[in-house]
Structure 1
């Protein structure tokens, strides 16, 4: 049983979600301030976040959460504009559903996020198929073969493996790993991604591990 937080200002939807998500433990927050307070004082396995909140918006909540936590966040939104969706994913949302949503689809997406979050579990070792990354020893192997990665390439791969379902914009990757504004750094990141892809392909040319999502960014396949 997981510990979930639902930040939603509509009481009827809160009741629906609590029923749908049983037997998981569901904490309710009716606005962004209450949601952020709950996150500060509890350890949640997943957050379901409505964008259209009174006071502190869902976008602001997501931005604040991502400053100190990588808890999976599924966004509920009435917005279907592609650019807005891109901004959500770039800001750190793991997934989204547009309202009105299908409850079975929501349950399925919650299950995926909980499974992925549990699989990375905060441990030193990350696994995706035959790809293994050990954060403690700074070692990477693919199908048992070692891959030598410099610090930045290792950090990029670790970031993608920690969130295998999330699409990251190049800007978000660069600013997290290099800890400086993106500005004109696209070529720098592209070079590192190219080297990383080449090394992975050299060990297993049959599988593509890092894929581009057109118009959004990259993710781990």
Structure 2
């Protein structure tokens, strides 16, 4: 199996060197010290994970993240000194897969790196298009068609649909779906998942004729059929 490739984007020399030292024994590591060089490295290499500091010279980390998300779903683990909850929520909504606040524990960082790499590998597109019934999902362009009509979905709803349509008829436990898409524990998260599933169900139903694809199985989970 090929070694996973990680890009570290960090302008603080001590932190960047520390990250490289702990990651290099297990992964192929590239480095960038600012937003411009980060985007350049991203274009040059096939990456499996980006570790991104927010406070960068020139192009800020948030802008780097938004630029990456225009063309790629590569997992992004953000390093930040920000602890304000609303800012963290905005960060995740803008496409970050996970975050760590500074100062961080190296063992926790390594664990989160492994989780993101594992999840990224689990949803790696095998075929460009997934089709079931009158729903088609393009895993490369992130386009969704329902009965021939374009459906625009935010990141989390797209990820949920991607998992469900790839395994029609399979019942997924809600905790399994949440922890795969959000990358964190399902504890106290049932309402968040239910809202996203409800939104996805409503949007698909509005475009499909006499068909509801996202179905809840009472007391068990959710399946696509």
**TM-score normalised according to structure 1 size:** 0.67
1:119 to partner: Cα distance: 1.0
Matching residue of 1:89 = 92
Contact 2:54 2:60 in 1 (8 A): yes
Matching residue of 1:15 = 17
Whole-Å separation in 2 of the counterparts to 1:139 and 1:123: 19
1:75 to partner: Cα distance: 0.3
Whole-Å separation in 2 of the counterparts to 1:150 and 1:139: 9
Contact 2:146 2:204 in 1 (8 A): no
Of 132, 146, 149, which residue of structure 2 is paired with 1:138? 132
1:85 to partner: Cα distance: 0.4
Matching residue of 2:103 = 100
1:198 to partner: Cα distance: 8.2
Gaps (5+ residues) in structure 1? 126-134, 141-148, 168-186, 211-221
Could you say if the C-alpha distance between residues 193 and 88 of structure 1 is closer, same or farther in structure 2, counting changes exceeding 3 Å?
Answer: farther
Secondary structure at 2:182 match in 1: coil
Secondary structure at 1:136 match in 2: strand
Matching residue of 1:47 = 50
**TM-score normalised according to structure 2 size:** 0.66
1:30 to partner: Cα distance: 0.5
Whole-Å separation in 1 of the counterparts to 2:202 and 2:150: 10
Contact 1:31 1:55 in 2 (8 A): yes
Contact 1:44 1:71 in 2 (8 A): yes
Matching residue of 1:192 = 203
Q: Does 1:205 align with 2:218?
A: yes
Whole-Å separation in 1 of the counterparts to 2:80 and 2:29: 20
Whole-Å separation in 1 of the counterparts to 2:212 and 2:50: 32
Gaps (5+ residues) in structure 2? 135-144, 164-179, 184-197
Could you say if the C-alpha distance between residues 23 and 84 of structure 1 is closer, same or farther in structure 2, counting changes exceeding 3 Å?
Answer: same
Query: How do 1:1-221 and structure 2 match up within 5 A?
Result: 1-21=3-23, 22-124=25-127, 135-138=129-132, 150=146, 158-160=158-160, 162=162, 164-166=180-182, 191-192=202-203, 199-201=214-216, 204-209=217-222
Matching residue of 1:216 = none
1:161 to partner: Cα distance: 5.1
Secondary structure at 2:78 match in 1: strand
